[in-house]
Amino acid sequence: MIATTNAGKVREIRAVLDAVGWTVNAQSDFGEMPEVREDGLTYAANAVKKAQAAAARLGLTALGDDSGLEVDALDGAPGLYSARFAGAQATDAQNRRLLLDRLRETPRSQWGARFRCVMALISPRGASRVVEGVVEGQIGEEETGDGGFGYDPVFVVDCTGRTFAELPSEEKNRISHRAHALAQICDILIAEPAVWQRGNDGA
């Protein structure tokens, strides 16, 4: 079960895990779920917290994801607060607008950035694995592309020269921060299937 309400994350994670034979459910498939406060001091703390809550409630192996955009000129911000950079109820567009506004007065040489994704895999009996994926890039001067979600239209990937929003989803799912983390999750699921399947003790 993917412990997130972010439809974009669900779409990307499902595309990868389906391909290696795992049945993937979104949190929304189970109706209303109690909100988990993302008040951890690290990505890992938040990812673990979300996955633990979902695994305990549903009796399924859960995958928690906490991700952020880290911009050099902003000393790593928005980081942990990427989803609520412009406020608790901010839209993706409002977050992007604030980001570009904050950067206008800084030299372009400082617009380097990276996306970081930490994933926590938790079984109902407490087995746990935590992995991390990072992709380097820079912030573009304006939004480009109409794919993806979040900060994708302003994040130019170093290895492509294009924003995530300009890339076909298949390509993004091969090179993104989430893809790097998911590759490790896939290795874990393939190597230890009995630990994560329903009905096993998670030892």
Cα–Cα distance, 120 to 179 (Å, whole number): 14
Q: Classify the C-alpha dihedral 83-86-89-92 as positive or negative.
A: negative
Please tell me whether the peptide bond between 78 and the residue prior to it is cis, using omega within 30 degrees of 0.
yes
Which 8-state DSSP code applies to residue 2?
B
The token pair at 175 is 């090179």
Catalytic residue (one of 18, 39, 66, 201)? 66
From start to end of 141-189, where are the E strands?
A: 155-157
Radius of gyration of the chain (CA): 17
Between CA 141 and CA 152, with CA 147 as vertex, the angle to 5 degrees is 45
Among 75, 72, 3, 69, residue whose Cα is nearest residue 38:
3
Q: Is 101 a catalytic residue?
A: no
Distances (CA, A) of 143 to 15, 46, 100, 147, 162: 25, 29, 9, 11, 11
Give the catalytic positions in this structure: 66
